[in-house]
Structure formats: C-alpha cells, structure tokens
Amino acid sequence: MSSMDVAVVGSGPNGLAAAVTLARAGLRVEVFEAAGTLGGGLRGAELFESGIVHDICSAVHPMATASRFFREFDLASRGVELIAPEASYAHPLDGGRAAVAWRDLDTTCERLGPDGRRWRRLMEPLLEDSEAVGDLLLSGQRGIPGPRAARLLAGRTLAHGSRLGARLLRGGFAGEEAAALLAGVEAHSVGRLPSLPAAAVAMLLGHLAHGPGWPLPRGGSRTIADALVADLTAHGGVCHTGQEITDLGQVEDARAVLLDIAPAALLTIAGDRLPRAYARRLAGFRYGPAAGKTDFLVSGPIPWANPETGRAGTVHLGGTREEIYRQETANTRGGADGAPFVLVVDPAVADPGRARNGRRPVWAYAHLPAGDRRDPSRLIRERIESYAPGFTDTIVAERSVSGAEYERYNPNYVGGDIGSGAMTLRQSLLRPAVQWDPYRTPLPGVYLCSASTPPGPSVHGMCGYLAARSALRREFRLPVPALGPGETDRTEPGRRAGLPVRRT
C-alpha cells in the first residue's frame, strides 16, 4: 500500500468525520471501506425505481443539528439542506387519537391540553440552553460539564429514567397522549425501559424537536456522506471502496490507524496483538437488541387514521407508555412475543422531491430481540395498518432486512444492533472499556472511533472527531484544524505534500 500518515478503516459518519479532521490537519489520509459504496449508515440506493432514493440505514438527523462537528463543518454551506417538517414526530394511539410534537412548542403544549404545562416545564429550559445540552451529551464524557446544562439534564433524567421516578410520574400526565409521546422518544435508546440513558436520550431528542426539529437531508442521507467525502478528497484524502481490512498488518505502514468498527471486529483484525486484559474487556462489551428494516415503495401518502400524523417526518408506533416499556424491556431479554415498536418515515412529507410519478419511499424499522431472524415485513405492515387502514393496498414493492441480516450488511451491527453497543448506564459512560481515553487502544497508534465509543450511536460524527483529536495530540502533536469551508487550516504552513486524489 502507498505511504500514508493515517489509515481510517470504515467510512461511516464517524470514520469520515475522523478522516476529514485529520486531512485538514495536513496529514495524508486513506480510507478503506469493505463495501462498494462509502457512507456506512448514510448510504442510499434506488432500490426499486430509478430516481427514487431509499435511505438504507439512517433517514432523519436531529443529532446532526446538535453536533459540534457538524456545526463547525457547516453542512448548509456545502449544499446539504436539512429540511425540518412542521411536526417533528407523531405518536398515534387507538381510536384515531394522536399526539404530535410540533416544532412550535406553543402549538405542542396547546394540543396536549392539561398536560401542556408539564410538557413546557420539561422542554423549555432545555431549549434555552440547547447548545450546551447537546455539547454535554455529545461529548467524550470525561471532562467537567457546564453547571447549568448538567443541572438541567440531571433533574429530568433522574426523574424520568429511574424506576422510582417512572412510577411516581405515572400520574404526572393527565392523559395517555403526552406519556406515550415521551416514551416513544425514550425508545430510541433501544433497550430496557425506563432507564437513565433512555431518559437522557429523550431529553436531548425531545427538546430538539421544538428547536431545529428532526430534519431530513434534501435528496437523502447520502448527501451528508457526499459532502464529507468531497471535503476529504479536496484535502488530499484517498478513499478505497471494496477493500476489506481483515488484519491490522494491512495498514501497518500508517503512523496512526483509526477504526470505525465494533469491538468484536477489533478482536478479529488485531489477532493476538492486544493485551489479554484489554481483549477480555472488549469481549465483554454488550450489544443491544436488533433492528429489522423494511423499505417500501408506495403509491401515495400513508393513509393515517389521524391526518395530523401525516404531517410528521417521523412516526412512532408502540401504543401507550406501558406497552412501549413492556415490549422494549422484553426485547432486551430475548422475548419475541408482542407487537414491536416501529419507527416510520415518509421522506416526501418534508422533501416532496423524493416522490416521483406518484410513488414514494417509506422507511420503517422494528425493534426486535438480538439476532432475530424473522422477516420483519409482516410485523411492520401490521403495525402500520393498525393506525393507517389501507396502507397495504398502497405497497408497490418492498425489501426487508432481518436483524441477523443487518450484521452481514454491516459487521458493526452485531446481532442487528444498529447502535453498536447496548445503551446501559455503564456502557453509556464507559464504552468500550474502562479507561480515561476511550478511543486509544493499547496498540501504538491504533484508535477506535466507531459508535462503540462515546458519545455513542446516531449520525453526529463526534466519535470520529474526538478520536481524531486524541490522535492529533498524541501521535502528531498537531493542533485541531478548522473545519468550516473557506477557513484556512491552522496547520496550512506546515502542510505535508498530499497523495494524489483518487477513488478506487
């Protein structure tokens, strides 16, 4: 292989964030991706008809609005338009009822009736310190947090995430709608409910719904990957596709190696190089429940029984709070009974250009036990049909991926866990192992930068960005570069001669 300063293995949002940061610091960076296309969880494809793009993994990106990396990278100035629908998410219930989290907090509180005052008390203070709250939760979680943001989060997280708090709050909402609306966001943690990590996720995602919203990129998630790759190659980076790294010896010429892979994969490619104690810690890393995915091509908007549901970019299907808690907890124990929690996105609600000739993509995930081998299509269709009668009649084509198959698609998704690690309290703070620098491995110059490191899953790029900062400091003694377009890199005077730009 050609001479390089840094090898990045894996081209998901974290791998690309690390590569962009290091290339902007003047280093020669090469990215190695086993798949035929770059982007990892940001990939998109025209699955059924030309011109209709389906998001293969992630579709909605509230964390991109909260991320320091993307804030500095400035997606908008690079042609990536994040479109936030007027309703961030909706939660239909039996009898044609639906709770809706509108971007406008006043509208949300008004529609929640007697529960609106409590909802405002929960979300409004977080909105006032939104950037600090986001920076706290999307950090390496090793520094001293800002006192106000920490205080705001601590009170809400403890109240909503502890079992005692959940029991006390059962009577806190007058109706089922507000309780279900909050529980649906907690379920994004994909694990036992209630829990402190799930409550923290709910506080972050919940308040963002009333600020920047839960946006979708115009044209699909792959536009974010395209922007990252364009910046990387503009700074001398090289991307290799269809090139799997199965042994660290393949990149031994690099001064630093950043791995956007799960701990299980590190154990494989490192062989017997890792110290036994660290290898045991990685082997003990826990993975969470699976996601089963179905992509639909449909002939029209989803016929929701409650029309306001159709104005939301994201829809949660899980029933009442008690039903969501019961089913999500059962998944962590391997139980396969009961109707699963399902997330549904109709991208054309926010981005009408995603629909062509009356047809449009629909994206849907079901939360299932780890390693689940069932075709999720029937489970998802039945869930949608129960709140949108006639949906099945609109289906033109569909493609499903079971939890077990998701791991084959992306080895980072062990057992179908798209979060690359269970969001338990311990693993929220100490992933992937107990050590001060969670990105640095005992091997010289080798770093983990996947969602198995802090701050964890979602498209925010912070795992890669923080790992790159650690490598810059320890391996190269270089400052952190500016990330914005048009900004002069702080390392420009000492920039190394870059490698030829090429993509294979």
76 and 34 in a common domain: no
Residue ending a domain, choose from 408, 442, 459: 408
Structural domain includes residue 141: yes
Euclidean distance between CA atoms 471 and 453, whole angstroms = 15
Helices H / strands E in the chain, number of each: 19, 16
293 and 164 in a common domain: yes
174 and 82 in a common domain: yes
Give the chain's end-to-end CA distance (angstroms, integer).
13
pLDDT tens figures, 410-456: 889 999 999 999 988 888 888 998 888 999 999 999 999 999 999 99
Tokens standing for residue 117? 């005052």
Q: Would you place residue 132 in the very low, low, confident or very high pLDDT band (cuts 50, 70, 90)?
A: confident
Mean pLDDT across the chain, nearest whole number?
91
Structural domain count of the chain: 2
DSSP 8-state symbol, 439: T
Q: Would you place residue 152 in the very low, low, confident or very high pLDDT band (cuts 50, 70, 90)?
A: low
Instruction: Match 């009442």 to its residue by tokens.
Output: 320
124 and 194 in a common domain: yes
Is pLDDT larger for residue 231 or for residue 434? 231
401 and 325 in a common domain: yes
Instruction: Match 């396969």 to its residue by tokens.
Output: 336
SS3 6: strand
Structural domain includes residue 119: yes
Structural domain includes residue 253: yes
pLDDT tens figures, 158-209: 555 455 445 444 447 889 999 999 999 999 999 999 988 898 899 999 999 9
SS3 30: strand
163 and 301 in a common domain: yes
pLDDT score recorded for residue 153: 54
Structural domain includes residue 451: yes
260 and 112 in a common domain: no
SS3 469: helix
Tokens standing for residue 107? 């509208």
pLDDT score recorded for residue 200: 87
314 and 195 in a common domain: yes
pLDDT score recorded for residue 156: 54
121 and 90 in a common domain: yes
Structural domain includes residue 352: yes
Within 8 A by CB and 6+ apart from 488, the residues are 482
pLDDT tens figures, 327-352: 999 999 998 788 999 999 999 999 99
Euclidean distance between CA atoms 427 and 410, whole angstroms = 21
165 and 127 in a common domain: yes
| pLDDT-above-90 percentage for the chain | 80
- What angle do helix axes 196-208 and 116-128 make, rounded to 10 degrees? 80
261 and 116 in a common domain: no
Q: What is the DSSP string of 364-423?
A: EEEEE-TT--S-THHHHHHHHHHHSTTHHHHEEEEEEE-HHHHHHH-TTSGGG-TTSS--
- Give all strands (DSSP E) within 71-193, no chain letters: 82-83, 87-92, 98-102
